[in-house]
C-alpha cells in the first residue's frame, strides 16, 4: 500500500512533466533555445519532477526498471546547483525524449489508486 506522500509525489511528477510538455508543445528546438521564459519554466518543472521521483518508494521504482531513476533523481541537483551550466539543448532533449515515458508511468500508477 502506498503512502499519501507517495501518491502526492506521483501527482506532482505527472503534473509537472505534463506542464513541461505543454510549455514546449509546437515549439522547435531553436525556438526553445531562444525563449528564456519557457526554458526557465521547463527547468523548474524538471526540478519538481526530480524531487518527486526521490519520494517514490524503492518498490515503485523497481517495478519500472526501464526508467533511468538515478539520472532523474540526480538531474535536480544539476538544475539547482549547476544552474549556470544547464544548457537549453540538454533540457530540450530531456523534455522531448524522457518526459513522455514518465508521464505514461505516472498515469499508469495513479490509475491504480482506489
- Encode pLDDT of 54-70 as tens digits: 999 999 999 999 999 99
- Cβ partners under 8 Å of residue 20, min gap 6: 41, 42, 45, 46, 49, 95, 99
DSSP secondary structure code for residue 94 in this structure:
I
Pair 91, 42: CB distance under 8 Å: yes
- Encode pLDDT of 19-62 as tens digits: 999 999 999 999 999 999 999 999 999 999 999 999 999 999 99
Specify the pTM: 0.93
Amino acid at each position: 500500500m502506498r503512502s499519501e506522500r507517495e501518491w502526492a509525489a506521483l501527482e506532482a511528477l505527472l503534473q509537472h512533466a505534463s506542464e513541461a510538455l505543454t510549455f514546449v508543445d509546437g515549439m522547435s528546438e531553436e525556438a526553445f533555445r531562444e525563449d528564456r521564459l519557457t526554458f526557465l519554466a521547463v527547468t523548474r518543472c524538471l526540478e519538481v519532477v526530480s524531487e518527486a521521483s526521490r519520494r517514490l518508494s524503492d518498490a515503485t521504482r523497481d517495478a519500472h526498471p526501464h526508467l533511468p531513476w538515478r539520472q532523474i533523481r540526480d538531474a535536480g541537483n544539476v538544475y539547482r546547483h549547476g544552474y549556470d551550466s544547464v544548457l537549453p539543448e540538454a533540457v530540450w532533449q530531456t523534455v522531448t525524449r524522457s518526459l513522455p515515458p514518465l508521464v505514461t508511468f505516472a498515469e499508469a500508477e495513479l490509475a491504480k489508486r482506489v
